């Protein structure tokens, strides 16, 4: 039986062939494969998925979310990979955005907004220790590499 990293690599490679406009890179070791999709403009953000034997871990320029756990009941590695790649697809279009909050020019909070079942979810990651009294700024990033899934019913 193939491992989760092998299946994820195969599924992702097949899907990436359909999108020549995407710039990406793979990093591989014996137990782990990491896919990094590079932003195509300064207003966008990089997306990364680390695939270990025990789960898939998405991240986006400082934000990181919950894992797709390989021990999820009644779910195959293929389904897990497809689900995670569907999430990644939603981050490559205008359906999603990454808001980064800064204190004195250093990021301390990341809010990834993305669609689920017709609603927008805000998923936050942040630092516990940061300069609370620093000058606060906010920057929004959005990828527009692929067409919107929500607008085009994809």
78-128 pLDDT, tens digit each: 999 999 999 999 999 999 999 999 999 999 999 999 998 889 999 999 999
pLDDT in tens, 69-81: 998 899 999 999 9
In the predicted structure, residue 153 carries a pLDDT above the cut 70: no
Average pLDDT, the chain: 93
57: CB partners within 8 A, 6+ apart = 49, 50, 51, 64, 65, 67, 68
Q: Phi-psi region for residue 41, left (φ > 0), alpha (ψ -120 to 50) or beta?
A: beta
31 pLDDT band, cuts 50/70/90, is confident
């Amino acid at each position: 039986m193939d491992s989760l990293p092998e299946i994820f690599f195969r599924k992702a490679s097949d899907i990436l062939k359909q999108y020549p406009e995407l710039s990406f890179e793979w990093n591989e070791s014996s137990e782990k494969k990491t896919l990094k999709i590079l932003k195509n403009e300064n207003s966008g953000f990089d997306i990364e998925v680390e695939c270990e034997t025990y789960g898939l871990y998405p991240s986006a320029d400082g934000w990181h979310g919950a894992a797709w756990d390989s021990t999820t009941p009644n779910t195959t590695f293929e389904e897990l990979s497809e689900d995670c790649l569907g999430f990644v697809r939603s981050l490559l279009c205008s359906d999603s955005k990454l808001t980064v909050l800064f204190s004195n020019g250093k990021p301390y909070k990341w809010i990834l907004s993305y669609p689920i079942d017709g609603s927008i979810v805000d998923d936050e990651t942040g630092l516990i220790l940061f300069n609370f009294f620093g000058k606060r700024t906010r920057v929004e990033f959005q990828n527009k590499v692929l067409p919107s899934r929500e607008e085009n019913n994809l």
